[in-house]
Amino acid sequence: MIDRITAMRTFVRVADVGSFTKAAASLDLPRATATTQVQHLERWFGVALFTRSTRRVALTIEGAVYYERCAAILADIEEVEAGLFGAEVQLRGRLAIVLPPVIAREVVMPALAEFQARYPGLEIAIDATPAHGDWRGDGVECGVVLGELPDSRLVARHLGDLPRVTCASRRYLDTHGVPDDLEALTAHTSVKWLTAPAEPLASASVSASMSASVGHAPRSASAANDALPALGSMLATSPPPALVTARCGDLMLMVGDRATCVRTRGQLHVGDEAAYLAAGLEGLGLIQPTVLAAAPYLASGRLVPVLPKCPPPPLRLSVAYPAQKRVSPRVRAFVDWLAQICEPLATQQRYAPPAPPTPPAGPLPEGKPSSTRRSFRLPA
């Protein structure tokens, strides 16, 4: 006899991912077993819960009603078990999450061992996707979003704001010059995102009067690099952007208290954070990475800040999950833990350029070369 609760879990997973094959793989079941469990429910109720085709599996009207009740019942079961026997011991199952690569690499992975020690029964599946990707419909229970929330069917918890910096390689600036105002910026080339984040935006054009109010930056790469110490205080004191959400798709800069979209040249569009940084490092155009991702290259001088008086607005960092009546204890535990480790991002906006290393008192011993690698984390 098929266990009803087990069949309900399989049904919910199939509905989440839209595929019997994907659902069976995520539950570590043979596909035939997953199909049999759902068929058992359909025979029990005497209705079809899914419409099936060679391309997709979709809920019927009856299936959609049953799905809502099943999701609530399964969340209640997990909550009761966690409350009776101890949440940290009893949380089990698979937790599928999506993270922007920079958050996975710099924030989550360094602290993940502690989370796994706290919840040893959880199987964690992390998909590090481009920062602005759409992860709904893949069986993912929650994901971190950079920018404004793209979907009203998601519920978000604000984790902090990631400061960004407009910068370029020395090669690019030596060849094309350093823009000294927003008007000059329009003649430059930038690397663009395939899917830009939704951001607060006050204006989509650049006026001559606005450009004149910006002030001037150094015209050479070496002089621009000398302005790096001013970047920290600038990011710390930038006023909040206006609350109008739009997708710029180009360079965003703050002018006073206005977030402005500046249209630049450029035919290169990328959808991956690593490729975006690599394009900037190779001199293919101006970029606006997060300070979290760009800090090692700023510290080494491979990337040089541009227009430090007009920083990009910070990117809102949120963790989101589908809106429903109840959130599973697994998701709640992960979201609470993520908010805890992201707390420095919520309270600290300043980027402090690393101090130059103190030269050694004497020559280094042979066979022990000094390391040029720098670690970066937001100041406490």
For residue 265, pLDDT beyond 70: yes
Neighbour-count burial of 42, counting CB atoms closer than 10 A to its CB (0-12 exposed, 13-18 middle, 19+ buried)? middle
Helix 4-17 and helix 31-45, axial crossing angle in degrees, nearest 10 = 110
Please tell me the predicted confidence (pLDDT) of residue 74.
84
Residue listed under structure tokens 């109008």: 244
Residue 269, classed as helix, strand or coil, is strand
Question: For the residues 296-312, what does the mean pLDDT come to?
Answer: 93
pLDDT confidence of 138, banded at 50, 70, 90? Answer: low
pLDDT digits (tens, 9 = 90+) for 71-97: 888 877 877 766 665 544 467 777 888
Residue 43, by phi and psi: left (phi above 0), alpha (psi -120 to 50) or beta? alpha
54, amino acid identity: T
**Residue 289: Cβ-neighbour burial (10 angstroms; 0-12, 13-18, 19+):** buried
Give the pLDDT confidence score for residue 82 in this predicted structure. Answer: 64
Q: Which two tokens stand for residue 71?
A: 């999701």
Q: What is the DSSP letter of 303?
A: E
Sign of the alpha-carbon dihedral angle for 41, 142, 52, 24: negative
Answer with the residue of higher pLDDT: 227 or 309.
309
* Residues 250, 190 contacting (CB under 8 angstroms): yes
Give pTM, 2 decimals. Answer: 0.64
Q: What integer is the mean pLDDT of 120-133?
A: 75
Question: For position 211, what pLDDT does the model report?
Answer: 38
Q: Please calculate the CA angle 5-50-136 and round it to the nearest 5 degrees.
A: 80
Of residues 376, 340, 380, 377, the one with CA closest to residue 160: 340
Is residue 204 within 8 A of residue 335, CB to CB? The reply is no
Q: Is the pLDDT of residue 373 over 90?
A: no
Note whether 322 and 153 are within 8 A (CB): yes
pLDDT at 302: 95
**Residues above pLDDT 70, as percent of the chain:** 69
Query: What's the rounded Cα separation, in Å, for the pair 7 and 39?
Result: 9
Taking every pair of C-alpha atoms in the chain, what is the biggest distance, in angstroms? 84
What tokens does 201 get?
Answer: 């935006």
Per-residue pLDDT band for 150 (boundaries 50, 70, 90) equals low
Distance, in Å, from the CA atom of 285 to the CA atom of 343, rounded to the nearest integer, reads 33
Q: Give pLDDT tens digits for 325-366.
A: 567 788 889 999 999 998 877 554 444 454 444 444 444 344
pLDDT band for position 57 (50/70/90)? confident
For residue 326, what pLDDT is reported? 66
Query: For residue 290, what is the DSSP state?
Result: B
Taking the C-alpha atoms of residue 140 and residue 97, their distance in angstroms, rounded to an integer, is 5
Residue 256 has pLDDT above 50, yes or no: yes
Q: Residue 313 above 50 pLDDT?
A: yes
Are 173 and 221 contacting, i.e. CB atoms less than 8 angstroms apart? yes
Q: Can you give the pLDDT at residue 54?
A: 74
Compute the distance between CA of residue 364 and CA of residue 353 in angstroms, rounded to an integer. Answer: 26
Helices (H) and strands (E) in the chain, counts: 16, 15
The confidence band for 116, taking pLDDT boundaries of 50, 70 and 90, is: very high
Sign of CA dihedral 287, 289, 291, 295: negative
Report CA-CA distances (Å) from 146 to 137, 278, 299, 327.
19, 20, 24, 22
How confident is the model over 235-245, as pLDDT tens digits?
333 344 434 44
CA angle (81 as vertex; 80, 82 as ends), nearest 5 = 90
User: Residue 109 above 80 pLDDT?
Assistant: yes
